[in-house]
Each structure stands twice: as structure tokens, then as C-alpha cells.
Amino acid sequence: MDLTGKTALITGASRGIGAATARLFAAAGAHVALAARDRDAIAALAAEIGPRAIVTPCDISRYDEVQGAVDACISATGRLDILIGNAGVIDPITPLAEADPEAWGKAVDINLKGVFHGMRAAMPVMRDQGGGTIITVSSGAAHSPLEGWSQYCAAKAGAAMLTRSAHLEGAPMGLRVMGLSPGTVATDMQRRIRASGVNPVSTLDWSDHIPPEWPAKALLWMCGPEADPWRGEEISLRDPEIRQKAGVA
């Protein structure tokens, strides 16, 4: 996949899957806007990537900051071709009956409203450009409840439905909208899950997790026409056919 001349906004680019995706997309020729709260981490990644990186610190739970990140893409490159809605949080990991309502709601603001904020800011730009690709990083938790993860499962389920809604409304504008469920990935998020010991995912062996470069490769493949048959759908990176197509088999 050659992304020369394209601009990609990647949320949650300060580490994990988002950082691996930013590195890969930049190597494929794209300008990459790095959106996350940790300014030092995205500045360091931008320095590593070089001139095609755009530093867009933002908290995706705040719409005006996400709009600011989209505006920065337009100022820097005049366009926005790809939105990877990847930022997410697993905390608070807590039994529902003991959850702090403020913390629970804040996490939903990130995991669900944050995905909406990205789409809301990007879709008009892509519509006016005549096309674009929006990919939401989903989770098996969108489809199956797990102990201690009520906010994560509920918000990821909402984000999956939001992605289908964006496809329904975006396809007539020429937008390609999809979800990627990566399986379990060796990132900070899995470290926190492991430390919680709360459900079967936390007991997985570290070697069960795939490296973050695998979902990055799948996301790159999803930006190309070979993935068009999956528009409007959620792709699973556990699927051997998808692994083979993404080049991680």
C-alpha cells in the first residue's frame, strides 16, 4: 500500500497499536497526525518519524480538541484521507455494583463519544473531498460481556454500532467505513488487564498476544481497495483469511 500524498489522523498514537500504525503509515508515505494526551510521547514519536508527522495533542473526549486536530491536518497538508479511531481506555476495571459513576462515565466519553468526535469532525472534510477511510479499532468486548469491564464492553458495543451508522450515512458520500477487532495485543492495556486479575483475559499468557505491528499492518491493508468487500463490517484479526491478506499470517 502506497499512501503517498494521503493524510491520516490516528487517535491514541502515543503508544501501542496507534504508535505502530503511525510508524507504518508514515513509512508507506502518508502524513500522520499523532493524536493523544501525552504530549511528550507524541513529540518523541514525531521526531522519530520526521517531517511527515503532525503533532496534534488532544483529549478525544473533548470535541473542540478533536476538531482542532482535524483543523491541524488541513492546515498542514490541505486534506484528511484516513481517520483511525484507535484511542481507548480499559480503566476503570471494577465490578459494576461498585463502579464510581464519574470514572465510568469519563471512560465512556473516551471509548464511545471519542469515536463519535473523530467521525463528526472528519466526515464533513472527507465528504467535501469526495472520499476517505474511517476505521474504528473495536474489540471482542463489543460483542461479549466480561467481568469488571462493564464500561469497556458497553462503550465498545456502542462504538461498533456507531461505525455501522457511519457506514450507512458515509457510503453515499464515498466514504469507506470499517471496524477492526485486533484480538489481544501486547500493549500497556494488556499489562493493566493482567495486573487486574479480574477475568479470563487477565490470565492469558503474554505469548498469547500479538505484537502491535500486526493490527497496524491490517489497518494499512484496510485503507486499500482490496478491503472494499468488507466496507461497513467489523473485521477480526483472529480470522486466518484476514491475517493472510494483511500479511501477518
Ligand X SMILES: NC(=O)c1ccc[n+]([C@@H]2O[C@H](COP(=O)([O-])OP(=O)(O)OC[C@H]3O[C@@H](n4cnc5c(N)ncnc54)[C@H](OP(=O)(O)O)[C@@H]3O)[C@@H](O)[C@H]2O)c1
Catalytic positions, written as ranges: 138, 152, 156
Among 1, 6, 11, 167, binds ligand X (CB under 6 A): 11
Q: How far apart are CA 135 and CA 216, in angstroms?
A: 12
Taking CB atoms, the residue at the shortest distance from ligand X is: 16
Q: Is 133 in the site for ligand X (CB under 6 A)?
A: no
Among 16, 92, 170, 179, binds ligand X (CB under 6 A): 16
Among 8, 10, 18, 119, binds ligand X (CB under 6 A): 18
CA distances from 178 to 34, 110, 206 (A): 20, 19, 28
Of 78 and 145, the one with the shorter C-beta distance to ligand X is 145
**Phi-psi region for residue 84, left (φ > 0), alpha (ψ -120 to 50) or beta?**
beta
Q: Is 60 in the site for ligand X (CB under 6 A)?
A: yes
* Of residues 229, 214, 124, the one with CA closest to residue 176: 229
Q: Is 170 in the site for ligand X (CB under 6 A)?
A: no
Q: Are 21 and 10 in contact (CB under 8 A)?
A: yes
Q: Which residues pair with 116 in a beta bridge?
A: none
Q: Is 59 in the site for ligand X (CB under 6 A)?
A: yes
Q: Which residues bind ligand X (CB under 6 A)?
A: 11-18, 36-38, 41, 59-61, 86-89, 110, 137, 139, 182, 184-185, 187-190
